[in-house]
């Protein structure tokens, strides 16, 4: 009985243990289930948070970024439209510039004294023309280096080039680092020494040589060409004197074909220009050795000066003077052959040429005067003279002749001056001739002369004036 009770008690305990174990498993399952639900809940919350964040970013994009992007697109479209407008404006500006240029050209023609009908002007006013070619010697004019004892030989094409350019009125000179005596002897041997004016043969720089030649010839530096085989020498000249046209000696054979070496006309003066400069050199040597007053020296020259109406055969030289003369030129206007011929035939204009000669030879046609006639008024549109006669006093003779004629005709006398950085001397010439400024614009100075106290012509020159 006791055993039975014990057995029943054990069974009861076992049952209770199993129940407790089962309960524990149930609780564990419930806990795991709750944990899983909790994880699921957290995951759902996280997912919702991410969705909310994405929605918020989308909202921000809609509210802020999208308008900016649209603004940029609109801005680009606007820029394109503005660019189109700018292009249109540019086209309009270009058209306006062209119209302005046409108006300027018309105004220039008015200033120059042209009527408004079309006149052929085949040359450009800005066209560059070379007046003097300066040559190096070693490996340029001749092959070899003289100072090193080489048996130098004249380059085959050189004499022909020099002769062609000389016949066109283009002068020649030398700038060489060499022994003067040896080099000149070699030039005489080649028969070329008389072609080179004021040769600079020494050990100084080529820049200094060019400056000396320019001062002696009294022409603008932009009228020079320099031929040398050495790049260093050409670069030095280009740097210091950028106006000079530098040419590699290897291309010297091209000189006669260059536009700068081809004047529009070859006149009688062109063909004898070198001879005229040689005569100048002879005169200058005598003048340098003369110790008396300048007027006495000028009287020894036995000068003959003439002023005459321009004839048709004078027009080529007249055009050449307007193209070549920049320093002793009151306005710098350039006139073509056809324009000058219009003036020559016009009743409203007087076109005069001046010529000079002395006991050393002729200077040729050295001066030009263009007067525009109005009722009761003469207006000097252009007064110019060659630089070669600057020291001969012919400028004052020309001006005083016009003063005398205006007074004789009973008209007022005015003169235009277009100041440049090169024609300051003509301003002073007008001032010394008692011209007074009556009006000044941005470009032009207008003078007037009261035609009083007109001096007599100088006694040291014989003057011949043709009626017109």
pLDDT tens digits, 150-189: 789 999 999 999 999 999 999 999 999 999 999 999 999 9
Q: What confidence tens digit (pLDDT) does each residue in 301-331 have?
A: 999 999 999 999 999 999 988 887 777 889 8
First-last CA distance in the chain: 179
Residue 100, pLDDT score: 55
* Strand pairing category for 412-417 and 377-385: parallel
Give residues with Cβ within 8 angstroms of 449, minimum separation 6. Answer: 403, 406, 413, 414, 415, 433, 434, 435, 436
Res 34 pLDDT > 60: yes
Give residues with Cβ within 8 angstroms of 293, minimum separation 6. Answer: none
Res 119 pLDDT > 50: no
Distance CA 102, CA 96 (A): 10
Q: What is the pTM of this model?
A: 0.61
What ranges make up the beta strands (E) of 242-291?
245-248
Residue 2, pLDDT score: 73
- Spell out the domains of the chain, with CATH numbers in brackets: 132-261 (3.40.50.1000), 294-465 (3.40.630.30)
Residue 33, pLDDT score: 86
How many other β-carbons are positioned within 10 Å of the β-carbon of residue 268?
14
Distance CA 289, CA 287 (A): 5
- The pLDDT-based confidence of 67 (bands split at 50, 70, 90) is low
Residue 126, pLDDT score: 47
Cβ(325)–Cβ(390) below 8 Å: no
Give residues with Cβ within 8 angstroms of 129, minimum separation 6. Answer: 223, 260, 263, 323, 324
Q: What confidence tens digit (pLDDT) does each residue in 220-265 have?
A: 899 999 999 999 999 999 999 999 999 999 999 999 999 999 988 7
Q: What confidence tens digit (pLDDT) does each residue in 426-463 have?
A: 889 999 999 999 999 888 999 999 999 999 999 999 99
Q: What confidence tens digit (pLDDT) does each residue in 327-355 have?
A: 788 988 888 899 999 999 999 999 999 99
Residue 386, pLDDT score: 86
Q: Which two tokens stand for residue 13?
A: 């305990």
Res 84 pLDDT > 60: no
Locus of tokens 């529009």: 264
Q: What confidence tens digit (pLDDT) does each residue in 385-426 have?
A: 988 787 788 889 999 999 999 999 999 999 999 988 788 888
Q: What confidence tens digit (pLDDT) does each residue in 94-115 have?
A: 555 655 554 555 455 444 454 4
Q: Where are the alpha helices (DSSP H) in 346-393?
A: none
């Amino acid at each position: 009985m006791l055993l039975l009770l014990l057995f029943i008690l054990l069974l009861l305990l076992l049952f209770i243990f199993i129940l407790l174990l089962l309960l524990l498993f149930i609780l564990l399952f419930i806990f795991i289930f709750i944990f899983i639900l909790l994880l699921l809940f957290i995951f759902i919350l996280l997912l919702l948070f991410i969705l909310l964040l994405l929605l918020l970013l989308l909202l921000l994009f809609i509210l802020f970024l999208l308008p900016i992007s649209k603004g940029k697109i609109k801005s680009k479209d606007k820029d394109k439209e503005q660019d189109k407008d700018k292009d249109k404006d540019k086209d309009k500006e270009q058209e306006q510039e062209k119209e302005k240029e046409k108006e300027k050209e018309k105004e220039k023609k008015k200033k120059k004294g042209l009527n408004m009908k079309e006149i052929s002007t085949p040359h450009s006013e800005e066209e560059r023309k070379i007046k003097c070619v300066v040559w190096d010697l070693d490996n340029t004019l001749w092959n070899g280096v003289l100072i090193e004892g080489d048996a130098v030989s004249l380059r085959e094409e050189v004499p022909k080039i020099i002769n062609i350019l000389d016949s066109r009125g283009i002068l020649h000179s030398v700038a060489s680092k060499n022994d003067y005596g040896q080099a000149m002897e070699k030039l005489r041997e080649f028969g070329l020494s008389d072609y080179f004016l004021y040769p600079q043969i020494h050990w100084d720089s080529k820049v200094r040589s060019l400056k000396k030649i320019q001062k002696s010839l009294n022409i603008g530096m932009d009228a020079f060409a320099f031929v040398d085989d050495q790049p260093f020498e050409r670069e030095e000249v280009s740097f210091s004197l950028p106006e000079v046209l530098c040419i590699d000696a290897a291309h010297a054979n091209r000189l006669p074909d260059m536009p700068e070496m081809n004047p529009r006309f070859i006149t009688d003066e062109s063909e004898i220009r070198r001879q005229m400069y040689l005569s100048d050199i002879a005169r200058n040597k005598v003048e340098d050795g003369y110790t008396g007053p300048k007027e006495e020296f000028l009287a020894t020259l036995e000068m003959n000066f003439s002023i005459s109406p321009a004839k048709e055969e004078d027009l080529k030289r007249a055009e050449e003077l307007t193209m070549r003369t920049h320093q002793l030129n009151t306005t710098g206007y350039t006139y073509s052959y056809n324009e000058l011929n219009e003036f020559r035939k016009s009743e409203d204009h007087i076109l005069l040429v001046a010529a000079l000669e002395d006991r050393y030879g002729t200077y040729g046609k050295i001066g030009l005067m263009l007067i525009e006639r109005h009722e009761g008024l003469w207006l000097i549109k252009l007064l110019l003279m060659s630089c070669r006669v600057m020291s001969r006093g012919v400028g004052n003779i020309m001006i005083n002749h016009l003063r005398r004629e205006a007074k004789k005709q009973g008209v007022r006398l005015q003169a235009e001056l277009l100041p440049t950085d090169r024609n300051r001397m003509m301003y002073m010439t007008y001032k010394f001739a008692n011209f007074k400024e009556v009006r000044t614009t941005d470009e032009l100075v207008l003078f007037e002369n009261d035609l009083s106290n007109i001096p007599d012509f100088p006694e040291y020159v014989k003057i011949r004036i043709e009626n017109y």
